[in-house]
A and B are shown apart, each in its own frame.
Chain A
């Protein structure tokens, strides 16, 4: 009988339960889909480094899943509390008929279990279906091909989903039983009759609070949106707290304030149905302050995560096209100490290896540094200001200098515009945004620079866009381009080799690159064996590697953004729907009486 009662309760109150059930199903399927990504990736053509990224993604997603489970758990508890409240009359009847509280708990327990099993089953089915589509998305995000389509079910993700949701349902059951033990028959019977108290708020206080919280919210947004550089941990926390509190108080005060304002405009207030409309709106805002705040904040999170995830990905992709323009670049730091001379050419020669094999075209060049030409010589008067703004800078840091002929050769290789330079002139190249702003200030008056004892005039009064190292982003912190004959060859700084492979197909690229790496590592190993006390400074960067890690990073960001954004969106929708449902039934009761 109890079972029948539970079942018929669910069946008959489907309208109420539909939203609850629907929320659970979406929650379960989203949870499954994102936890099954690792399993779905099995059918993709992935390289070793991409596998690493997928594994990183998996562990990140499972970490986020705990957070997501908390959000969904709170949502489910909220929804079930809401459904319980609407059944006060029913529980009162059970009690007057002499049913014990444990039996009532048992009815609710049966209902929760039935709904839980149902939603898990349906949700998993939908999730498994959706995750097939997800592998197509994964493939496109990682920019790889699918080997062959195969229907995959991740048992690991199923187990995880079932366990997490079982825990959530358990919490709901405990919560419900706690509520039932506490409830009193008289309160249950009278719950419908208690009219909602409309607290009249002090209008002056409302206006005051509204103005203060509007100001606080504006301040927080300006801090986060336009003063990003100065944002440290403490200020960031302050902004979050201010934002949340101000949102709440704006909703709290706005209904009282708006009503006052409209009521004072008697012509407007008493025209046709306006009085009713305004009262209705203000009472609705009044009763929904907390849920509106929560919905607002959750939508904020959703919009921010989704938008930033996609824009990070887009900028990563466009930066790649812009700043990763050669197949391979090898760079080592010059070392002038007697034994530790490991300039690139020496390094390879010592190991009896060819430096340029496999390159169809390449530019091999050296950059220089003048020990007396440092950041402080460039910055001049504004050095202290610069150091204050960017604590990472050091006044005595050497400035890298490149010959104009080398740089223009590199430009041709990279497919960029070459630059022109007259005798006795210099150009500063920089594209890292913050650094660039500082340099622009220093160059505003086109100051002369003394490099290797010679005075050079500025060709431009600001930095020029340019770089010599390939990469995924604009990361050139400043390089001076000078006429060839200005250089003192004794002050070598770095040695570079950038070039494109003699390869046309993907397979050829892979094999050439493998050879390139082997030779580099052999050379470095030999050097390190001979110089056990010194550290080698140098690296080999390839387009393929940079692409894969950047694309992988983009994919990770997209997945995390989608995951968090979707869950918060579901939560918002569910809360709104439940609120609307309660409004509509309350009105119905009103009409019937």
Chain B
């Protein structure tokens, strides 16, 4: 069933004299329960695409529908409500509040929704269990490792049961072990909890955890491959093939 439908979006930067097309006519759709990775070299427009879907940035032309709501037309309170209830964000640099403990950071997403303390507690403990961060709930961000921080940030993103979880280079600041652990959790959330996840990455290993990979080059969709019944290792090899096709400047992303 279709959750997200992107129709011919474009995003331009700059002025008339020097126009940059960050996104140049991209259309695709994402089904409920999918785990999609978007890959591309630096400057290919993948983060701009994610920013447009996440309402952080606005498109120059085109439409983005989430459950038949046109999010490019949302404003003010409706936009706040949409972000609050339908979206979950995971950033490369975690964006946790240093002043709050892990528990409070996760609870913040719920208390903005005005949930009761009882509900909050159950939800936070539940999601902490799923992501394996129950021991660090009472710690402050500066007392945690990078992997733990990113899992707390992920917990904050999914604790509200959003329709769509958006992750911008979630493993970018993590070492390979922590990255692997986080991705295992993502797969768990996707397969066992039915979360729809869309992830931007330039790393083939990270992308191989997804069910589908969309390649972007110069603001356009270059290629798209689905995992089908392949194992992760096989899928990884396929991704590498496409990356090689994509050209030299992604070679550093292996």
Contact = CB atoms under 8 A, between A and B. Distances in A.
Given A8-B100, A98-B82, A89 B95 contact: yes
Nearest to A189: B56
A90 B97 contact: yes
A98 B84 contact: yes
Given A100-B77, A185-B56, A186-B51, A11 B83 contact: no
Contacts of A9: 99
Nearest to A4: B104
Contacts of A100: 77, 80
Contacts of A92: 95
B251 to A, nearest CB: 24
A13 B99 contact: yes
A5 B109 CA distance: 13
Interface in B23-77: 51, 54-57, 77
B89 interface: yes
Contact of B80 (A1, A93, A98): A98
A103 B81 CA distance: 13
A98 B81 contact: yes
Given A185-B56, A186-B57, A99 B112 contact: yes
A200 interface: no
B80 A99 contact: yes
Nearest to B77: A100
B108 interface: yes
Contacts of B2: none
A490 interface: no
Contact of A93 (B51, B82, B97, B111): B97
B95 A93 contact: yes
Interface string A347-363: 00000000000000000
A148 interface: no
A97 B100 CA distance: 15
Contact of B112 (A90, A97, A186): A97
Interface string A81-104: 000000001101111111110010
Given A97-B109, A97-B112, A12 B83 contact: no
Given A9-B99, A12-B98, A90-B97, A96 B111 contact: no
B178 to A, nearest CB: 17
B179 to A, nearest CB: 18
Nearest to B55: A185
Nearest to B57: A186
B95 A95 contact: no
A54 to B, nearest CB: 49
Size band of the interface chain B makes with A: 20 to 34
Contacts of B85: 98
A103 B56 CA distance: 18
A86 to B, nearest CB: 12
A97 B57 contact: no
Contacts of A189: 56
A98 B56 CA distance: 11
A97 B56 contact: no
Interface in A44-98: 89-90, 92-98
A100 B114 CA distance: 13
A96 B99 contact: no
A434 B81 CA distance: 78
Given A186-B51, A186-B57, A97 B77 contact: no
A100 B108 CA distance: 14
Contacts of B97: 90, 93
Contacts of A93: 95, 97
Interface string A189-211: 10000000000000000000000
A593 to B, nearest CB: 9
Interface in B89-107: 89, 95, 97-100
| Residue of B51, B95, B98, B99 with highest tally of chain A CB at under 10 A | B99
Nearest to B54: A96
Contacts of A8: 99-100
A103 B77 CA distance: 11
Contacts of B109: 97
Interface in A7-37: 8-9, 11-13
Contacts of B100: 5, 8
B57 to A, nearest CB: 5
Given A13-B99, A185-B56, A95 B51 contact: no
A99 to B, nearest CB: 5
A438 B162 CA distance: 91
| Residue of A96, A186, A189 with highest tally of chain B CB at under 10 A | A96
A315 B99 CA distance: 57
| Residue of A13, A93, A186 with highest tally of chain B CB at under 10 A | A93
B112 A98 contact: yes
Given A97-B112, A98-B112, A186-B51, A11 B99 contact: yes
B51 A97 contact: no
A140 B203 CA distance: 77
A96 B77 contact: no
Interface of B: 51, 54-57, 77, 80-85, 87, 89, 95, 97-100, 108-109, 111-113, 156
8 smallest CB-CB distances across A and B, nearest first, come from: A98-B84, A12-B99, A98-B83, A1-B111, A8-B99, A186-B57, A100-B80, A96-B89
28 contacts: A1-B108, A5-B108, A8-B100, A13-B99, A89-B95, A90-B97, A93-B97, A94-B112, A95-B80, A96-B54, A96-B56, A96-B87, A96-B95, A97-B84, A97-B89, A97-B112, A97-B156, A98-B80, A98-B81, A98-B84, A98-B87, A98-B112, A103-B112, A185-B55, A185-B57, A186-B56, A186-B57, A189-B56
Given A9-B99, A98-B80, 10 more contacts: A5-B100, A93-B95, A95-B80, A96-B54, A96-B87, A96-B89, A98-B82, A98-B84, A98-B87, A189-B56
